[in-house]
Amino acid sequence: MINLETPKKFRMLVEQAHQVAAEIFRPNSRKYDLAEHSYPKELDMLGALLDGMNAGSGEGAGAAGVRRDKVADEGNRNGSNLSTVLGVMELCWGDVGLLLSMPRQGLGNSAIASVASDEQLKRFEGRWAAMAITEPHCGSDSAAIRTTARLDGDHYVLNGEKIYVTAGERADLVVVWATLDRSAGRAAIKSFVVEKGTPGFELVRLGHKLGIRASDTAHFSLVDCRVPKENLLGDPTINVEKGFAGVMQTFDNTRPLVAGMAVGLTRACLEETRKLLTQAGVKIDYQRPAATQSAAAAEFLRMESDYEAARLLTLQAAWMADNRKPNSLQASMAKAKAGRTCVEVALKCVELSGTLGYSEHSLLEKWARDAKILDIFEGTQQIQLLIIARRLLGKSSAELK
């Protein structure tokens, strides 16, 4: 059974992550928000921090992964998924964009850690991997991918276009989702590790964004890009019965991570707002019903309860991954709750803080901009609710759209 306290063996890592957030991320947060596309050089010496959080798992190529090929240990297993989520919560309390700029902790690393073979794990170890899914004509519907992969001897030839690739310019590798056969639908979609510098794989431009400006977001084109067939992650065969399960397994890991980001940012907003409300003379009393307190205090208590629900759902999804339990439903529930809560809390905190919340005097206005992406990437709010409904009702994607 899950224990909701931070495991003793992770407490030092959590403290270290919070120290980095407080002493490195927060002081540089506004600097790199204003200097979009500038690489945060302060992170170079911190690259090993999250590597340490995953040490001993034997499963990662940087970030944690969800693997189904092992039998669950008896009792509780608190592993790399939980430790990484706990660290992410602390670091995003400091700054989400800077967390996304941490070397070797890209979403592509989670994809590799989740489905790569032992040989691939060793080959890609220590390298920074981004993940390229979204295309100009398809966002949340990953099954509509048009980028193609054609086997030609010992290589796959990739052709297509990818947008909104987080850390795409800075990463060493990019995990590209492509289809082996458009007529076969979801079952033909596979992920390929493309090394930077591969002929035919070109950076088109970097995007300007509402938030997380410290993180670069790239647009790539693939024109007759030849990738060794050994770089395909997972099973190369098209299994219609298995469908989309192979590549979707990646999301079982990355969605709790994004939920953890949202939880960390939500906590930052609440703590800053509590401080400003206290300075304004607003008292928050946990011994009295919210209805008997001021409107600001009642709103704050409501936001705190939403935050706590999001945090617990996120810990549950990560714990289930560590214990080899199917967590697709819980991963989507955590992502949906945490993403929506983060956006609502950030905007309400700006409102409650008045002019201080809307100006650049504090970080609240920046956090409100950063929050929105956490309800979008790795599957929008609407997609998460659709996945949850399918799981609870036992419906397929064809039956419930």
HEC profile of 198-259: CCCEEEEEECCCCCCCCCCEEEEEEEEEEEEHHHEECCCCCCCCCCCHHHHHHHHHHHHHHH
Tell me how far apart the alpha carbons of residues 303 and 364 are, in angstroms, rounded to a whole number.
15
- Has residue 178 got a pLDDT over 80? yes
Roughly how many angstroms between the first and final C-alpha of the chain, as a whole number?
34
pLDDT at 340: 98
Taking residues 349-361, report their average pLDDT.
95
Query: If we measure between CA atoms, which residue out of 213, 216, 311, 301 comes closest to residue 262?
Result: 311
- Quickly list H helices, 168-294: 245-279
Does position 58 have pLDDT exceeding 80, yes or no?
no
Measured distance CA(28)–CA(261) in Å, rounded:
18
Indicate whether 73 pLDDT > 80. Answer: no
* Mean pLDDT over each residue of the chain, to the nearest integer: 89
pLDDT single digits (tens) 136-150? 988 777 778 999 999
Length of the chain: 401
**Does the pLDDT at position 52 exceed 90?**
no
Contact (Cβ atoms closer than 8 angstroms) between residue 95 and residue 28: yes
Per-residue model confidence (pLDDT) at position 105: 76
Q: With bands split at pLDDT 50, 70 and 90, how would you rate the model's confidence at 51?
A: low
Rounded average pLDDT over 197-223: 97
Beta bridge partners, 221, equal 161, 202
Q: Which residues are catalytic?
A: 378
Residue with tokens 């036992």: 394
Domains of the chain by start residue, with CATH: 8-123 (1.10.540.10), 129-233 (2.40.110.10), 245-393 (1.20.140.10)
* Predicted TM-score (pTM) above 0.85: yes
